[in-house]
Amino acid sequence: MTTYANDTSAPVQNVSVVSTGEVMIRPEHRAATRKPMYWWLATSRRWTEPLPINVYVVEHRDGLVLFDTGQDRASVTDPAYFPGGPVGLIYKRLARFDIGSHQTLTAQLAAIGYDIRDVTTAVISHLHQDHIGGLRELTHAEIVVSRREWETLDEPAPEQRGLLRSHIQIPGLRWKHIVPQPFTDPALAPFTTGNDLFGDGSMVLVPTPGHTPGSLSMLVRGPHHPPLLMVGDVTYDSALLEAGHVPGVGEKKRLTETTVKINEMRRRNPGLTVLAAHDPGAASALATATATTTATRVTRPAAAHAFHG
């Protein structure tokens, strides 16, 4: 791992990505086809290659921030983790996970030089189980989610929609439910509402509905790298998003609208890097985003897939 020695005043000091395991999904899940979701879910015989379950780690001068918390290893070790019956069959058909004992959130943070207790804030892109798996390890942190996303927990059939309330509404967690506020920063166009996480413009949350009604993305800005947009499951591959393809899970119309907005933001901000939760190219994209920086560096303990702002 490296860090910049000449600009310790910058709000964002470091950005890294760790993986809490791998997941295989259906090709129709990764990129939508004309088949309705429950049709391909019932009939598809193919799986994608293993995809990472990414957690983005941002070292801000006011605290360590996570974007998503990955998958809980209990999901592959505890037979009771997922619901049973017909709903449980949906989960089995939707995804296959491989999570080693070294791939817990605590272990992955330790591998890049952080203690889990360093985390002050975790932003949850949405409440599906492969994004909330580290919550039990974060009872000391503030957990940020959109109010609209939280409201979906009380809508009919939450488990059928990928929401496992027993793994979300955990006693002792400190939730913060946010509502997008108007802003006028031209660099965020075409987005006109969102939330400035620390009030300094370095980390801005924007609503990106479609995969779920209350999905959030986070824009990270620093002086030594182009803008980084962490998008959860808006896409499973940055190249697919750039080409206008949307995933097969979610509300297609809203996913398409969100995709158009993100691509417009890309057009307005040359070099903007989109970082998805399951994109196999995300780690290398993160490294490439800062490959041309001229900042002076000093060495810190080695870690995979890390770059610094």
> What does each C-alpha distance from 257 to 68, 208, 241, 244, 263 come to in angstroms?
23, 9, 12, 10, 10
Q: How confident is the model at residue 25 (pLDDT cuts 50, 70, 90)?
A: very high
- pLDDT tens for 180-216 read 999 989 989 999 999 999 999 999 999 999 999 999 9
The pLDDT value recorded for residue 290 is: 67
Mean pLDDT of the chain: 91
Q: Which CATH number fits domain 2-302: 3.40.50.720, 2.60.40.650, 3.40.50.300, 3.60.15.10?
A: 3.60.15.10
Q: What is the model's pLDDT at position 9?
A: 72
- The DSSP symbol for 270 reads T
Query: How crowded is residue 140: how many other Cβ atoms within 10 Å of its Cβ?
Result: 13
The mean pLDDT of 287-307, rounded to a whole number, is 47
pLDDT on residue 225: 83
The residue with tokens 């900042």 is 295
pTM of the full structure: 0.92
Give the span between the Cα atoms of 40 and 87, in whole angstroms.
Answer: 16
How high is the pLDDT of residue 222? 86
CA–CA separation, 220 and 229 (whole Å): 6
- SS3 helix, strand, coil % of the chain, rounded to 5? 30, 25, 45
| Domain boundaries, given as residue ranges, for the chain | 2-302
What percent of the chain has a predicted confidence (pLDDT) above 90?
Answer: 85
Q: What is the pLDDT of residue 8?
A: 60
* Residues 27-39, mean pLDDT to the nearest whole number: 95
pLDDT digits (tens, 9 = 90+) for 211-221: 999 999 999 99
